[in-house]
Amino acid sequence: MRLVVDVEAERVLIGSEELRNQWVDFYAILTLARTHEETSESFVGADTIFRTGPWRHKVPASVGKEVARHLSMLDEKSLGTLIASRGKTRSWRLTVPPRSIRFMPSREEVARWVESRSVRPRDENAWVVDLRRLVEATLFLYEGKAEQALSHLEQPVDASMDPAVEAWASLIRGRAAYRCGDEELLSSLHEVWLRRADGPGRTVSAKLRALVSARNRFEKPDAVLRTLSRLAAELELRGDTAALGSVVNVMGLLARRAGHPAAAMAHHLRAAVLLGITGDYPSLEGALMNLANCRREALQKANQPIDEAVFMLVELARLVCSRLGVGIDSAQTEVAAAQWALEAGDSVRARYYLREAESIVERAGDTFDNACFHFARARIEHASPDGSSDPIKDMRIARNLFEEAGDRKALAETNRLLKQYLEEKRK
């Protein structure tokens, strides 16, 4: 198959298929990359495409979507092998051999044509483009779109103007990787920033360390907690309040996981205050919910019933979420509140929170959230049946999802209740 890029006629020919308008720019960029020795096997990102020709007038996120639709069209016309991709909306490269590509009038003219139609900021202004990407990626995270945040920062930022640009980019990527469950990326970012000596670098290093520790909270929480305690002491001496809030919040998770809810509550209360001071509202929402969780467990440990303060903390967390648009990709708050309401004997409130959780779970598709939702629905239906679901079926789904998520403690409790429900059914 022969691929012709004709900038004089402003068209692309793929065999007998003719393309025009923005696709001339798209294929011109891809063919130039494919026919250059150093970039022949490289993928071209959406950031490069959206700076050229008609693509300039689109928002960056729409570029990937339009290319994905184009790839589907190629599939329908049996041309799907023409373009390889790293995620259909992220980056692309041609698979045809360079010798099968023809430029008209010449490769040099096509390169000049692309350059003349491209927005190329001068080196001294390149940071503006990167700053835009960083802000947009941050907003994606706030909106619960972690994969889009990662895609937005797939191409490296230029740290020549200020090294902190790279630090911010790595922190966003680390948070997005944590949300997506990409442990390999999160670990590699942590390794890269582990020994940074500059202020922003040390802050990012500590925050990434906290994320890695949160990922590992299911294994040896006491040991990880001791390590983070030393880090927190260092951050306190340095006056790094931003990183300290993140680390103390994870310390609370670890203390609760180790069976110390009162100590965990103290960590989360301090974390909430520090996160409020530094304006880290996504983490503040989590800290408030962690406080509610710890108060509930502390009350249980003291053989006292759940009180209204627990639900006040739940609603505070939900208020931050609704007003500031953070945490909208997770149903943990609603799922937990549903189970706590059940424990308090309030089935009406329990089903209210369950309905709120279901819409989030359907939209976000997170494995752990799904497991918790099915677990909660099974418990509520078993305790206060209305025929809307099957508790045994839900428990089996939860069991499989907890196993996939690697939460052995939740898996053990799920298996215990599933066995109980099955035995009751047989009687």
pLDDT (tens, 9 = 90+) of the chain, 427 residues, equals 799 999 988 899 998 899 999 999 999 999 999 999 989 999 998 888 988 888 988 877 789 999 999 999 999 999 999 999 988 888 999 999 999 999 999 999 899 888 877 765 545 566 778 888 899 999 888 777 888 999 889 888 876 666 678 889 999 999 999 988 888 899 989 988 886 656 788 889 999 988 988 877 766 777 788 888 888 998 888 888 989 999 999 999 889 888 888 899 999 999 999 999 988 888 898 899 999 999 999 998 999 999 999 999 999 999 988 888 776 667 889 999 999 999 999 999 999 999 999 988 887 767 888 999 999 999 999 999 988 899 999 999 999 999 988 888 899 999 999 999 999 988 7
* Burial environment of residue 115 by CB neighbours within 10 A (0 to 12, 13 to 18, 19 or more): exposed
Compute the distance between CA of residue 159 and CA of residue 164 in angstroms, rounded to an integer.
7
Give residue limits of the domains in the chain. Answer: 3-120, 330-427
Question: Between 1.20.120, 1.10.10, 1.20.1740, 1.10.3470, what CATH number should domain 3-120 receive?
Answer: 1.10.10
Rounded to the nearest 10 degrees, how much is the dihedral formed by the CA atoms of 339, 343, 346, 349? -20
Question: Between 1.25.40, 2.30.29, 1.10.357, 1.10.10, what CATH number should domain 330-427 receive?
Answer: 1.25.40
pTM of the predicted protein model: 0.58
Compute the distance between CA of residue 401 and CA of residue 418 in angstroms, rounded to an integer.
14
- In order of 381, 389, 396, 417, the CA distances from 392 in angstroms are 10, 9, 6, 9
Hey, do 3-120 and 330-427 end up sharing a CATH topology, with the first three levels equal? no
Q: How far from each other are the two terminal CA atoms of the chain, in whole angstroms? A: 69
DSSP count for the chain of H helices, then E strands:
19, 7
